[in-house]
């Protein structure tokens, strides 16, 4: 007989989960991922060692909603050599050096001819930018602005030994069955190359959550998706249109390792249960957090929350996309991501899942006046003492608001008490026969 | 032909009501009350001299909702004597000295054996705490911490000459019939011994309100309850389940004599007419007030607002229970309660009743354009003068919002004008045939 | 084929419209207007030279709603002469000198007998007040307090050569037909004598708007009313009761030339489309503006928003009536009104009309996932670049919220983007076949 989530203690930062999470981030970081190709497969196979992950292969050219699956991209080498044959930019040193989805090229050309193909960040001269060109065939290199400035005039040789050919889009899917077919969707993008926070961090945290939930007795069925951004969620939605109604709650996970406070971006619905659960957990965890309204920009919540689907899917991050200076540059590296931040993200994510698992609408079976708590062992018996008040408040709130129209989460929010206290009170009242 | 409430002037602090109220508080203060027993009867018989109060006796053991009426408790004497026979703690000096509902005891014991039965407030060494043990049979004494510290080791004799025996729960009920069977409920607890603010103050103010309303031509029927806390309201509700639907508005009254500003705690519904009326009156009376949301802790509003009944009953206090340091101690005495505070509480309570009596939804009979006010004697006839504006605003607001969906109270709140001005405008418009 | 409003550029302050507007204000300013009489006709005939304005004459005594059309008032001369025959107050110097709607008088009397007929502003001793007595037959003069104080004791002769006789109430109506019979009502009062801001300013701005809209291809039919305050709107409403349902949006215009920021006072409904449009335009134009809730005092919105009609009509001003010290005095003159303020008022008014013309509810035809924008020429094709984000936000917002329940204005407000950007995105998406 397996254990329920509310029977295991909540995660705390002291559990040492941070170190293991950071080591997994460090393993995934060097792999050259894109929206298709071997880098994605290598990444997902590593995660398969930790959780029951199915790899799904969808052929190039498959129509998916308004899109189609693109050709598969792989790159073996990519470099720029100077006139003396020295490689001045080399993909082997950093996966960001090649414009993601570059078409193959091998030719000699002057610096002037080369320049339009070189991307830098003049304001951040030591950082390599991350650039992609999935749908416009071109080639290019990304490098630091200092590298660019150090290049003398003269002839250069460029080589991008890539293939763009019919193949597959690959994604990973891990399903943990629960007592009901109602699903909780957890989705993270696995298409970015060497960017540690965006999104090796969420790959690691999602994997750790799946590992933690596996084997527990779960109310909901949990579906973890490791997918390329945009085209991946569109592909999954296209293949699962009949199944999306089962999704009762969902979270897109990203940027879960930086030292900033946690951020929750509401679903398009704005008042979905997952919106209330995430807001409650972040509020209870302390003041350094932000709750943002939905905007139709960001990660795959854009697709899940498109008006035709309008799923109850929010987005959980620490500092959101575009709001930290290292975003989409080589400075999003293993130093930006902190073990304690990864552990805290996992703990809060588990807290949200705990709320979703335990949240229910109960009905007070003794709704006329307060029932006697003392004889049922629920109450201190000496009255008049101020100190005893706060222990019983959770019981009183649950009894008073369990009229069939308030779930436990609404009661916790109304009472200003942590969900766990309210849920514990509800369990005690159910045991005493006062709640059903 | 009797007078309507809106035909008598509002109470002001200058009416000298405060002195009479304080004298009544002082008469009630020394009586040893509990949730049953002679102290309650003595208290109610004194109020019977002032208002038509029926005493209701409910036998011990009667099932009432989830509870049953407890045995009746009476105490004749209670003391602790030292080895020399000197009474070092004596109930005759303060009713708080005996743990309320103590079982009888007479025995000799050492200080070490006595200590678990002694209750003090180490942080307030000169105050006696108030403690009860209604439902766990035990005995005890309450004393100042200085008294406790002055007790030498040695043998003591304790005597509590109390009875806990089948008898009755006693409560008082005063009904002032109105033009309709719809009721306004005013409820205050009469079970606390020598605590002046909590709740001799409200016993006095409620009695004064009943005396004031008696003989007036009332729209509502007014029901005043003087009941032991919790078990009293539960008993009344159990005996009147078929009658509670008549309760259109209600207030629990408590702690109406301390020098703090007034506080209104909303009913569980949160937007009941009494909630709006009390908030309006407190706002109009000045900034030093508080409007609080319902919480399922406090006084008998807990029972009236239990989810099965969910009555529109709020709670009117000055400083609420537990928020003044003297609460439930011997420092809640005749010095804490001030004549001017009692008079102000009564005046605001009367204001609330005035609003409830006069509040109605009217319909503008001339809703297309503004009707001419001048020929009907409702308007200054020289236009263009800024000074005259404010006199007619109440008329314009009533005409504009009397569309069958706004009551006068909503109009007053929307206009930011005192209810009395809006009600006076409505009366003038009714007289002019413009409103019905 | 005529042009739509969204095909012409928005007005800017640099258009030089302010000078022309101020010249028109200066032409209208000296005319002695009242709620009836030749002054109104002179005013309207001047506006007829600029826009297609119909003059409507309604006979005195005509019943209109709860009122009746008053006798027509005209005044030829009005003066006070001292004992030496010198005219110490003369209507020829300022139209405000005569109490508006004075009955005729010619007689000799002492200063003491004269005083009750003299109106001054002691606090503003150099300003002449504006006073009327439309419905109480009397006579009087308005003068500066310094004039009053300089009058020696002695005998005076007063002459008001006025007529109050059966005639007509005159108003002007200009209708610009649109593609639908749904109407936008623009109403301004033309009854005040020499008061420049209140309301020559709005007469000029409304005329300029009509001139600007004339000849454009309009979605709505525009109805401009130039009417005497109160009795004029009541008369128009009485004569057009069957037509008021066509009014989809409306604005009362007044006080549009002073240097204060713009003010919009909501309709009684509070959330009408015109309320949202005006609030959006004022917010976008900068922080120096105010949005006020409806109050049943002010201009003719009092009549349009009376509960029987309850039309979606707000009021657009700069500084509202009664909130500038010069209000209803001779200091409301051609110096108070500024060309740049008039131009700004016209520009904002045109902005509001632009929103009303273009605001619609669209439906996303590709609502499952985001449609591909690149192949449709709607999107930059190089991903990963932060700079490109903001150009596409309007497209994403329109796609995401066009679910049949949000109009473009709601989308603009939710996105925090100017309506024009959202409307432009909608046009592009309609062209691309993604929106209908």
- For residue range B273-313, list pLDDT tens digits in order: 999 999 999 999 988 999 999 999 999 999 999 999 999 99
Residue C340: count other Cβ atoms within 10 Å of its Cβ: 15
Concatenated DSSP letters for A325-390? TTTTBTTSSTTTS-HHHHHHHHHHHHHHHHHHHH--EEEBS--SSPPP-GGGT-S-S-BS-GGGHH
The yes-or-no verdict on residue A16 having pLDDT over 80 is no
Pick the closest to residue B337 from B212, B211, B205 (CA basis).
B205
Residue C292 in contact with partner chain B when CB distance is under 8 A: no
User: What burial letters (b/e) apply to B322-346, b meaning 16+ CB within 10 Å?
Assistant: eebebbbbbbbbbebbbbebbbbbb
Residue A189 in contact with partner chain C when CB distance is under 8 A: no
Coil vs helix vs strand at A423? helix
CB A325 within 8 A of CB A259: no
Give C419's contacts (C-beta < 8 A, 6+ positions apart).
Answer: C280, C281, C284, C354, C355, C358, C359, C408, C409, C412
Pick the closest to residue B34 from B167, B139, B144, B169 (CA basis).
B169
Residue A8's pLDDT is 80
Task: Pick the residue from chain A with its C-alpha nearest to B142.
Answer: A384
The yes-or-no verdict on residue C74 having pLDDT over 80 is yes
pLDDT tens-digit map of A49-67 = 999 999 999 999 999 999 9
Helices and strands (H and E) in chain B: how many: 12, 18
Residue C85: count other Cβ atoms within 10 Å of its Cβ: 7
Q: pLDDT exceeding 90 applies to what percent of chain A?
A: 91
Residues comprising chain C, all counted: 436
Judge: B368–C241 Cβ closer than 8 Å, yes or no: yes
Residue B402 in contact with partner chain C when CB distance is under 8 A: yes
pLDDT tens-digit map of A273-292 = 999 999 999 999 988 999 99
CB A120 within 8 A of CB A129: yes
CB B200 within 8 A of CB B102: no
Average pLDDT over all residues of chain C: 95
Judge: B135–A381 Cβ closer than 8 Å, yes or no: yes
CA distance A226 to A31: 15
CA distance C257 to C206: 12
Pick the closest to residue C167 from C51, C72, C44, C278 (CA basis).
C72
Which of C366, C381, C386 comes nearest A133 by C-beta? C381
CA distance A35 to A165: 13
The yes-or-no verdict on residue C161 having pLDDT over 90 is yes
The yes-or-no verdict on residue B80 having pLDDT over 90 is yes
The yes-or-no verdict on residue C379 having pLDDT over 90 is no
pLDDT tens-digit map of A109-145 = 999 999 999 999 999 999 999 999 998 999 999 999 9
Residue B434's pLDDT is 96
Pick the closest to residue A4 from A423, A434, A431 (CA basis).
A423
Residue A129 in contact with partner chain B when CB distance is under 8 A: no
The yes-or-no verdict on residue C385 having pLDDT over 60 is no
**Shortest distance, CA B288 to any CA of chain C (angstroms):** 27
CA torsion, ordered C62, C63, C67, C70, to nearest 10 deg: 10
Residue C259 in contact with partner chain B when CB distance is under 8 A: no
Three-state SS letters, B18-79 = HHHHHHHHHHHCCCCCCCCCHHHHHHHHHHHCCCCCEEEEEECCCEECCEECCCEEEEEEEE
CB A383 within 8 A of CB B192: no
Residue C168's pLDDT is 98
Q: Which residues of C touch A228 (CB under 8 A)?
A: none
* Chains in touch with A (≥3 Cβ pairs < 8 A): B, C
Residue B74 tokens, joined: 């009476």
- Cα–Cα distances (Å) from C180 to C8, C219, C284, C304, in that order, read 21, 6, 28, 22
The yes-or-no verdict on residue B11 having pLDDT over 80 is no
pLDDT tens-digit map of C252-301 = 999 999 999 999 999 999 999 999 999 999 999 988 999 999 999 999 99
CA A345 to chain CA centroid, nearest Å: 10
> What is the pLDDT averaged over residues C163-192?
98
- Cα–Cα distances (Å) from A384 to A10, A388, B171, B298, C380, in that order, read 34, 9, 21, 12, 70
Residue C230 in contact with partner chain B when CB distance is under 8 A: yes
Give C387's contacts (C-beta < 8 A, 6+ positions apart).
Answer: none
- Phi-psi category of B395—alpha, beta or left, where left has phi over 0 and alpha has psi -120 to 50? alpha
- Cα–Cα distances (Å) from A271 to A278, A318, B40, B147, C196, in that order, read 11, 21, 51, 58, 51
Residue C199's pLDDT is 94
The yes-or-no verdict on residue B19 having pLDDT over 50 is yes
Q: pLDDT exceeding 70 applies to what percent of chain B?
A: 96
Task: Pick the residue from chain A with its C-alpha nearest to B309.
Answer: A368
Task: Pick the residue from chain A with its C-alpha nearest to C380.
Answer: A136
Pick the closest to residue C428 from C377, C382, C361, C393 (CA basis).
C377
Residue B344's pLDDT is 96
Pick the closest to residue C141 from C158, C153, C123 (CA basis).
C158
The structure's pTM equals 0.93
Q: Which residues of B touch C268 (CB under 8 A)?
A: 400
Of A372-381, B270-279, B386-395, the one with minimum mean pLDDT is: B386-395
Judge: C383–A134 Cβ closer than 8 Å, yes or no: yes
Residues comprising chain A, all counted: 436
Give B50's contacts (C-beta < 8 A, 6+ positions apart).
Answer: B24, B207, B210, B211
The yes-or-no verdict on residue C58 having pLDDT over 90 is yes
Residue C317's pLDDT is 98
Judge: C399–A65 Cβ closer than 8 Å, yes or no: no
Residue A380's pLDDT is 52
Of A329-333, A380-384, C337-341, C397-401, the one with minimum mean pLDDT is: A380-384
* Chains in touch with C (≥3 Cβ pairs < 8 A): A, B
CB C210 within 8 A of CB C174: yes
The yes-or-no verdict on residue B266 having pLDDT over 70 is yes
pLDDT band at C391 (very low <50, low <70, confident <90, very high): confident
CB C317 within 8 A of CB C254: yes
pLDDT band at C48 (very low <50, low <70, confident <90, very high): very high
Q: Which of A101, A232, A296, A303 to mutate against chain C (most C CBs within 10 Å)? A: A296
Q: Which residues of A touch B131 (CB under 8 A)?
A: 382-385
Q: Which residues of B touch A383 (CB under 8 A)?
A: 131-134
Residue C123 in contact with partner chain B when CB distance is under 8 A: no
Residue B158 tokens, joined: 């304790």
Q: Which residues of A touch B233 (CB under 8 A)?
A: 369
CA distance B108 to C282: 85
pLDDT band at B9 (very low <50, low <70, confident <90, very high): confident
Give B372's contacts (C-beta < 8 A, 6+ positions apart).
Answer: C66, C67, C135
> What is the pLDDT averaged over residues C25-50?
98
CA distance B432 to A299: 66
Q: Which residues of A touch C397 (CB under 8 A)?
A: 295-296
**Shortest distance, CA C290 to any CA of chain B (angstroms):** 19
- Count chain A–chain C contacts defined by CB atoms under 8 A: 83
Pick the closest to residue A83 from A181, A155, A148 (CA basis).
A155
Pick the closest to residue C357 from C229, C195, C248 (CA basis).
C248
The yes-or-no verdict on residue C16 having pLDDT over 70 is yes
Residue C287's pLDDT is 87
Judge: B296–A369 Cβ closer than 8 Å, yes or no: no
Residue C382's pLDDT is 42
pLDDT tens-digit map of B128-138 = 999 999 989 99
CA distance B17 to A247: 66
Q: Which of B365, B368, B373 to mutate against chain C (most C CBs within 10 Å)? A: B368
Strand pairing category for B403-407 and C155-165: unpaired
Residue B15's pLDDT is 65
Residue B53 tokens, joined: 């109060």
The yes-or-no verdict on residue C326 having pLDDT over 90 is yes
Residue C388's pLDDT is 43
Q: Which residues of B touch A374 (CB under 8 A)?
A: 135-136
Average pLDDT over all residues of chain B: 95
CB C158 within 8 A of CB C106: yes
pLDDT tens-digit map of C347-368 = 999 999 999 999 999 999 999 9
Residue A15's pLDDT is 65
- Phi-psi category of C433—alpha, beta or left, where left has phi over 0 and alpha has psi -120 to 50? left
CA distance C433 to B234: 67
Q: pLDDT exceeding 70 applies to what percent of chain A?
A: 96
Judge: B66–A393 Cβ closer than 8 Å, yes or no: no
Residue B382's pLDDT is 42
pLDDT band at C154 (very low <50, low <70, confident <90, very high): very high
CA distance B152 to B138: 24
The yes-or-no verdict on residue B383 having pLDDT over 70 is no
Residue A13: count other Cβ atoms within 10 Å of its Cβ: 14
Task: Pick the residue from chain A with its C-alpha nearest to B304.
Answer: A369
CB A163 within 8 A of CB A104: yes
**Shortest distance, CA C359 to any CA of chain A (angstroms):** 20
The better pLDDT of the pair B384, C363 is held by C363
- Cα–Cα distances (Å) from B404 to B217, B364, B395, B424, C244, in that order, read 26, 8, 16, 18, 22
The yes-or-no verdict on residue C389 having pLDDT over 90 is no
**Shortest distance, CA A369 to any CA of chain B (angstroms):** 5
Local structure of residue B329 (DSSP, 8 states): B
CA distance C139 to C116: 10
Residue A306 in contact with partner chain C when CB distance is under 8 A: yes
Of A326-330, A360-364, C102-106, C387-391, the one with minimum mean pLDDT is: C387-391
CB B240 within 8 A of CB B185: no
pLDDT tens-digit map of B337-359 = 999 999 999 999 999 999 999 99
Residue C15's pLDDT is 65
Please, what is the angle between helix B201-213 and helix B339-358, to 10°? 40
User: What burial letters (b/e) apply to B134-165, b meaning 16+ CB within 10 Å?
Assistant: bbeeebbbbbbbebbeebeeeebbbbbebebe
> What is the pLDDT averaged over residues B236-254?
97
CA distance B93 to B80: 12
Q: pLDDT exceeding 90 applies to what percent of chain B?
A: 91
> What is the pLDDT averaged over residues A223-248?
97
């Amino acid at each position: 007989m397996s254990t329920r989530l509310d029977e295991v203690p909540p995660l705390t930062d002291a559990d040492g989960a941070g170190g293991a999470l950071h080591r997994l981030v460090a393993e995934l970081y060097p792999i050259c991922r894109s929206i298709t190709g071997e880098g994605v497969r290598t990444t997902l196979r590593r995660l398969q060692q930790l959780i029951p992950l199915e790899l799904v292969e969808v052929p190039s050219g498959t129509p998916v909603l308004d899109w189609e699956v693109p050709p598969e991209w792989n790159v073996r080498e990519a470099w720029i050599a100077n006139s003396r044959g020295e490689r001045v930019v080399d993909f082997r040193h950093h996966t960001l050096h090649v414009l993601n989805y570059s078409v193959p090229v091998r030719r000699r050309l002057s610096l002037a001819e080369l320049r339009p193909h070189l991307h830098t960040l003049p304001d951040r001269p030591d950082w390599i930018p991350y650039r992609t060109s999935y749908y416009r065939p071109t080639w290019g290199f990304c490098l630091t602005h200092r590298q660019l400035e150090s290049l003398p005039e003269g002839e250069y040789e460029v080589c991008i030994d890539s293939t763009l050919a019919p193949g597959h889009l690959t994604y990973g899917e891990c399903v943990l069955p629960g007592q009901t077919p109602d699903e909780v969707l957890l989705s993270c993008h696995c298409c970015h190359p060497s960017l540690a926070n965006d999104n090796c961090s969420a790959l690691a945290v999602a994997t750790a959550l799946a590992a933690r939930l596996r084997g527990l007795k779960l109310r909901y069925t949990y579906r973890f998706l490791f997918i390329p951004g945009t085209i991946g969620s569109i592909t999954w939605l296209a293949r699962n249109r009949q199944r999306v109604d089962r999704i009762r709650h969902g979270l897109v996970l990203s940027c879960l390792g930086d030292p900033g406070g946690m951020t929750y971006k509401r679903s398009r619905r704005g008042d979905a249960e997952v919106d209330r659960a995430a807001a409650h957990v972040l509020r209870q965890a302390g003041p350094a957090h932000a709750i943002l309204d939905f905007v139709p920009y960001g990660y795959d919540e854009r697709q899940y929350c498109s008006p035709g689907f309008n799923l109850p899917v929010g987005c959980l991050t620490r500092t959101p996309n575009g709001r930290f200076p290292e975003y989409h540059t080589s400075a999003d590296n293993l130093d930006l991501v902190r073990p304690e931040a990864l552990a805290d993200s996992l703990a809060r994510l588990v807290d949200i899942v705990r709320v979703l698992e335990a949240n229910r609408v109960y009905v007070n079976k003794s709704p006329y006046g307060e029932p006697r708590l003392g004889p049922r062992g629920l109450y201190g018996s000496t009255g008049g003492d101020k100190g005893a008040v706060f222990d019983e408040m959770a019981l009183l709130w649950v009894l008073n608001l369990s009229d069939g129209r308030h779930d436990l989460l609404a009661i916790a929010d109304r009472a200003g008490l942590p969900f766990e206290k309210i849920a514990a009170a509800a369990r005690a009242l159910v045991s005493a026969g006062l709640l059903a």
